[in-house]
Amino acid sequence: MPITVDQIYNQRERFYRNQPNRGFRTNKFLRREIYQAEYLSELDPEGHRINDNTYYENILKEVPILDDKNEPTGKKKIVETPIERVSVPLQKVILQKHLTHLCGEKVKFIHHNLNPSDHEHETFIKFKNGWEKRNMETAKYEFCQSIKATGDAAFCAVRDNKTFSYRVFSVLKGDGLHPIRDSRGNLRLFGRSFTAYDFERQEEVPYLEIWDDKYCTLLTYSTEGVEKQSISWDAKTFKHVLSNTADTDGWYVVDKPKIHGFTSIPIEYLKCEEGACWSGVQDLIDKLELALSQLFENNKSYAFRIMLVKGDVEITGDLRGQARALLFDNSDGDAKFMEKADASSSFELQLRETLKYILMGSFTVLPPENTNGDLPSVSIKLLYSPALEQGLNDKNFYNKSIDKIVSLFKEGFAIEEGNSVSDFEKLDVRGDLDIYIHQNDSEVTNNLVMGVTSGFTSIETAQENSIYAAADELNRLKKQKDQELKDEREKISFESANDGMNNNNTQRKIVAKAT
């Protein structure tokens, strides 16, 4: 049986949240499916559950119906009174905190050739410069951001006129992701669905891009019975088959399949089973917003002092704003303020503890309000320990995908002008995520200097770990040393021009000083 376009379009990864288990052997039937659109709503404060009237209902009141003369008619009607609703962008805070620690440092490249030649070293420097030139750190950020926010993402390597570029497909951008795997779990086909405006039809039209091991095919959908080519893929070989027979599901090929130029499918797809990074504390966030909304609604009536008026009185001014004077008709009249009600300590405790467990459950650390001077590195690590633990777990989760992205970049960047394909094929390099930790930069630099001067750390290792080092820092150091030797030679030659030494003696002196 062939794999049809409609089957690819309907294939998507699913996300679930477990329900309480009452002794069953499996949770398969005790879970609720979560659509990625829910993650988008949770990320936007306007889409939070607290803004849903069915979850937190407005106040309903009975009020008398008045006639044209503003007199009661004896009838009543129900009036809905809006109440205070507070939505807090905690999901964005959690997302940005996670991304800061995960993507705050550049990818650390590891060259597995322990004794590379000068030519291999030059190729390695070209590779690192190309990584920065093609904004691959931004690609890493977009890839991780999508997974943290919506649960999955796809990195796509692109060759265009012998120039490497990339695309990141994400639900955040309105894309639909449709991975097709073989029996071993390897990605064999990948579909990206999206909508775009068709000026001929004058409407938004669904499109579908499908990648396989060799080709990329663009399709669109129509119910008008267009007589154009259809396409399907063999379920065993995953090779495409074009047909002049119209697709019964309505999909047809816009352009003939194009060769993408990579040796395998240029897609790296990754899914996090837990969904969004705040999924574990979403229920607590709902409860916090409900408690805050009730507090705000309560404060509308009781946060300010209330004026209590007794007897017949004439008011000059407006009680809603500021009453300028109160004129009493008899001696029994009186006016005084009732003291405002204070929020109970239990209510304050509820808000504080709920926020505490939201931050704890999401491994999020808020910066301290007061810090006196520079803190040592150990104190900073202890302070941000939960965020560091989350970052280390994320590192192990993402590193395999980073390796695939590095491999696709190496293959795509090799064809650019000035590069040698064979040299890049021999380059044995992988990428490793480096977790960002708030640190004292001066202390780190001093430790590197101490390691080099003490002899247990090489200059190359110190250069790789220095926050100030460029991608070609070793070459710069080498050029600097060569220039210093050249200047020294010129200085010695100038000084010995008239001291009776011959060229042979001068050369020996230069070599002796250099060594």
Measured from the Cβ of residue 291, the count of other Cβ atoms closer than 10 Å reads: 16
pLDDT band of residue 269 (cuts 50, 70, 90) is: very high
- What pLDDT digit, counting tens, does each position of 167-201 carry? 999 999 999 999 999 999 999 999 999 999 988 88
Q: What are phi and psi of 76, to 5 degrees?
A: -130, 160
Mean pLDDT score, 67-76: 84
pLDDT band of residue 475 (cuts 50, 70, 90) is: confident
The pairing of beta strand 108-111 with beta strand 203-211: unpaired
Coil vs helix vs strand at 353: helix
Q: Does 196 reside within a domain?
A: yes
Q: Does 277 reside within a domain?
A: no
pLDDT number for residue 29: 77
pLDDT number for residue 319: 53
Query: Among 11-15, 68-72, 126-130, 401-405, whose mean pLDDT is lowest?
Result: 68-72
pLDDT number for residue 176: 96
Q: What are phi and psi of 283, to 5 degrees?
A: -65, -40
pLDDT band of residue 503 (cuts 50, 70, 90) is: low
In this structure, which amino acid lies at residue 317? G
Mean pLDDT score, 85-114: 92
User: What is the reported pTM?
Assistant: 0.82
- Determine contact, residues 300/84, Cβ cutoff 8 Å: yes
Mean pLDDT score, 142-168: 95
Mean pLDDT score, 117-134: 89
Radius of gyration from C-alpha coordinates of the chain: 34
Q: Does 177 reside within a domain?
A: yes
pLDDT band of residue 421 (cuts 50, 70, 90) is: confident
pLDDT number for residue 373: 62
Q: Is 80 exceeded by the pLDDT of residue 448?
A: no
Q: Is 90 exceeded by the pLDDT of residue 408?
A: yes
Q: Average pLDDT, whole number, for the chain?
A: 85
DSSP string, 194-216: EEEEETTTTEEEEEEEEE-SSEE
Mean pLDDT score, 481-502: 70
What is the crossing angle of helices 90-103 and 36-43, to 10°?
Answer: 100
Q: Which of 215-229, 255-269, 325-339, 344-358 has the highest mean pLDDT?
A: 255-269
Task: Find the helix or strand (DSSP H, E) in which 350 lies.
Answer: helix 345-361
Number of domains in the chain: 2
Mean pLDDT score, 426-439: 88
The residue among 224, 253, 271 that closes a domain is 271
pLDDT band of residue 419 (cuts 50, 70, 90) is: confident
pLDDT number for residue 157: 96
pLDDT band of residue 407 (cuts 50, 70, 90) is: very high
Mean pLDDT score, 206-212: 95
More confident residue, 237 or 440: 237
DSSP string, 314-353: EEEE-TTS-EEEEEESSTT-EEEEEPPPPPPHHHHHHHHH
Q: Which of 355-364, 438-447, 503-512 has the highest mean pLDDT?
A: 355-364
Q: Does 39 reside within a domain?
A: no
- What pLDDT digit, counting tens, does each position of 11-41 carry? 999 999 888 887 777 777 788 999 999 999 9
Q: Is 90 exceeded by the pLDDT of residue 420?
A: no
Distance CA 219, CA 13 (A): 21
Enter the tokens of residue 180: 């097709």
The residue among 271, 288, 308 that closes a domain is 271
The residue among 244, 271, 298 that closes a domain is 271
- Determine contact, residues 477/483, Cβ cutoff 8 Å: no
Q: Is 80 exceeded by the pLDDT of residue 126?
A: yes
pLDDT band of residue 381 (cuts 50, 70, 90) is: confident
Q: Does 149 reside within a domain?
A: yes
Domain of residue 160 covers: 5-9+89-271
Distance CA 13, CA 271 (A): 8
pLDDT number for residue 312: 67
Residues whose CB falls within 8 Å of the CB of residue 281, separated by 6 or more in sequence, listed in order: 94, 357, 358, 361, 362
pLDDT number for residue 81: 86
Q: Does 130 reside within a domain?
A: yes
- Determine contact, residues 442/393, Cβ cutoff 8 Å: no
Coil vs helix vs strand at 261: coil
Q: Does 195 reside within a domain?
A: yes
More confident residue, 365 or 463: 365
pLDDT number for residue 496: 64
Q: Is 60 exceeded by the pLDDT of residue 498?
A: no
- What pLDDT digit, counting tens, does each position of 311-346 carry? 666 666 555 555 556 666 666 667 676 666 566 677
Q: Does 189 reside within a domain?
A: yes
Q: Is 90 exceeded by the pLDDT of residue 222?
A: no
Q: Is 60 exceeded by the pLDDT of residue 500?
A: no
More confident residue, 155 or 349: 155
Q: Which of 155-159, 485-489, 509-513 has the highest mean pLDDT?
A: 155-159
